[in-house]
Structure 1
Amino acid sequence: MKYLKLKEIAKLKNGKKCNYDVKGIIPVYGSNGIIGYTDNLNSPENSIIIGRVGANAGSVFYSFKKHWVTDNAISVVPNINKINSFYLYYALYSLDLNRLVEGSAQPLLNQSILNSLEIRVPPLSVQNSIVEKIRAFDEKIAVNNQINDNLLDIAKNIYHRILFSSQITKTNLRSFATVVMGQSPSSKTYNENKIGIPLLNGAADFRNGIHPSKWTTDPKIIVNKGAYIFGVRATIGLTAKVSKPYAIGRGTGSAIPKDVNNEEILYFILNDMFKKFEQTESGSVYINISKNDFENYRFNIPDRNGLLFFHEKVKPIMDQIYINKKQNKILQTIKATLLSKIF
């Protein structure tokens, strides 16, 4: 088995700034994945993106498509004559690159550090075999995600229809749900050894799934299974449902419906609320939503029969979404175990 430095099997280059929005056909990658779209590109398809700056420095992404890499990330273009692109992606993903980050005020990962990384490189036939096994997990996860997107679209359509076909009244969130704002424990109680209770300090801990990075032995606010959580500072929204107790810090809020039959519709009400807050705060450098803002938020709801109809129609849909998410979590755990054995 031979080892090669990353610079021997791939070409690295820093990304560049670009203007982007929700339009365009070319994905734009920052240090935390796709952040928007543009009509220009600076990186080829089937290449790798590594977060370069900030809290997400060291994060690793793969793009099937031609794309743009911003100045917060580094483009890694594999030499396919020496290495399978996916094999290199999995190798880098398994290396926990965040541990190589320098600086505390502004975490940074540079090309010099990455270029010197040694990658285990078996023959291409072995690489291809490894990729085939791991890709099976990724493909099943992707299928479940696509199913969930389709199911969520169906539920959204029912939500919009019910608001136009029922007797509508206006209410505020204080009357409809119990809102709790997080409170961060002392950093002295934090640990990464999973001692105590997992901590969700802000949206970064539940973007694309709930992934706490820290645990605390002195939680101040705990949310229980079934509660909705969301970001309330800087990045707002990203509503997610917890399947077990978590401590929540000051960057996280929580809501549960006062009537259990309103659990499903509350999810869509919260999403509408965050869209409105984002529009209202457009142009602000730092968005910070208070408990008062949440509780005073006013919205339309259908009458009691409409609410019950929505619950009966949408509960099975949302339940299936959560089942698929749970299956994906199991698949990701198996995949992580397999990667740890290979790399």
Structure 2
Amino acid sequence: MRALDISVVGATGVVGTALIKLLEKSEIAVDRLRLFASSSGARQLKFRDQTYLVEALRDIRNIDDTKTDIAFFSAGGDVSAVWGPRFASQGALVIDNSNAFRMRPDVPLIVPQVNACSLTVRPPSGIVANPNCSTIQLVRALRPLIATFGVNQVLLTTYQAASGVGRRGINELEDGAEAWLKGSTRPAAESFPVSLAFNVIPQIGEISSEGVALEERKLVQESRKIFGMPRLQLTATCVRVPVKTCHSEAVYVEFDDHVRLEQVHELLANEPGVRLYADEIRDGYPTPRFLGGPAYVHVGRVRVNPENPRGLWMWVVADNVQVGAALNALLIAQLVIANNLMDET
């Protein structure tokens, strides 16, 4: 495979910087790298022993400046909606981390460990969507179960970290915690509906007239699209918690028939990229603060419902910046390269 021209839009954000580090360690040959942010601020980043100036996206005046082989977007939906199609129109394959294109029928929504078969040809839109962070860890944990058993419904509650809204979310959590400890009764809240410090917030995204938050709709719609199961029964409550990084999910799966815990353990233990915490496999259970292995989806507290032998609980934790965003984007790029889609026109 030839060396590629690669652009990263949102290069200075939490996901963008994580992606650049992963790309640096990957085997992808890079001929030219361009880094973009909403404003450059004369910032420089290092990549493979070279220093690159972060350019301001708004300073692009010539459409030819958007020519590249792969463009990673991690700058939010508004930026992606405007600039993603511009890059794609000049021949770039856009890998987008926002919600701007996920449900478009001409845009594949890809988790390579789950539905790589949905990206065997280059999409006519020139865009591939990265799913929501909480969706990625969910479908990776569910994949071996859905592939083996008939699933009646999935119920879950998420416990999502401040980094889900980027660096500003982390900063607001830290500043709010410091203000609270110094006696402030109402620390400032801009990234969240109310202050997240020492708090939990049962709302992520705008709430519809039906009482469903945007994050909850994403989980349903995206999971259905990824699995190719438009009638999958899934419902969720999404909660923001005062954790810097790593999302957690309490997931309840009800199957069509009785389920054996031993078989579930075997399936999860053998699933690539999943770490199972169970008797004689790994002690304890995963928690966000002490999570090791940021490239894995961690699953613990796996148990059959004693009141319903068709029901199964599991606790799923993953690094939302790595597994839930940057790593998945890089794996999409590697899948594209492996399938020789870069040379398709």
Question: Structure 1-normalised TM-score?
Answer: 0.24
Q: Which of structures 1 and 2 has the bigger CA Rg?
A: 1
